[in-house]
């Protein structure tokens, strides 16, 4: 595994603790050393501001503040942070809204571990805003 990948700081955000534990374990088995997690949007935004992660894995549907608000907060920050949305919401509206708010990719649960690892690798190695990548 490449050193920059191993040293990437990834934030996992999901209100379901079992999902968080599964994702953290998967990421650590893939070789990532800095995996943080949050089970509320409030905690996620606080962690993102404090740690400036290299990547965020984000669920959309959470109580009080949803993942869309987290996307808006991250988009408003000065540094670009790639966000992979990982949600059970398979509607086109959810995908369009998340991508319009700056998500780099939209993956649905249940997810395929290999597909997720590829998406994470691509997001970390191509860590620039999607619009800049297309230009």
pLDDT at 131 over 90: no
Where is pLDDT greater, at 120 or 130? Answer: 120
Domain extents in the chain: 3-125
Average pLDDT over residues 97-113: 93
Tokens representing 115 are 């597909």
Alpha helical stretches, state H, the chain = 3-6, 17-29, 41-51, 67-76, 92-100, 113-125, 130-134
pLDDT at 129 over 50: yes
Distance CA 25, CA 8 (A): 15
State percent of the chain over pLDDT 70: 90
Which residues, listed in sequence order, are joined to residue 106 by a DSSP beta bridge?
85
Q: Provide CATH code, domain 3-125.
A: 3.40.50.2300
State percent of the chain over pLDDT 90: 67
Average pLDDT over residues 59-82: 90
Mean of pLDDT over the chain: 88
Q: Strand 34-38 to strand 55-58: parallel, antiparallel, or no bridges (unpaired)?
A: unpaired
27-47 per-position pLDDT tens digit: 999 889 899 999 999 999 999
**Phi, psi (deg, nearest 5) at residue 83:** -125, 130
pLDDT of residue 78: 61
């Amino acid at each position: 595994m490449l050193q920059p990948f191993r040293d990437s700081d990834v934030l996992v955000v999901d209100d379901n603790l079992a999902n968080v534990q599964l994702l953290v374990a998967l990421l650590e088995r893939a070789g990532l050393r800095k995996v943080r997690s949050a089970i509320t949007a409030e905690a996620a935004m606080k962690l993102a501001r404090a740690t400036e992660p290299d990547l965020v894995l984000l669920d959309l549907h959470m109580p009080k503040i949803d993942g869309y608000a987290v996307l808006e907060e991250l988009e408003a920050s000065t540094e670009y942070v790639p966000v992979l949305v990982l949600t059970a919401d398979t509607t086109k509206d959810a995908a369009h809204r998340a991508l319009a708010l700056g998500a780099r990719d939209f993956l649905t649960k249940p997810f395929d571990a290999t597909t997720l690892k590829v998406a994470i690798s691509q997001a970390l190695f191509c860590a620039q805003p999607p619009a800049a990548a297309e230009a």
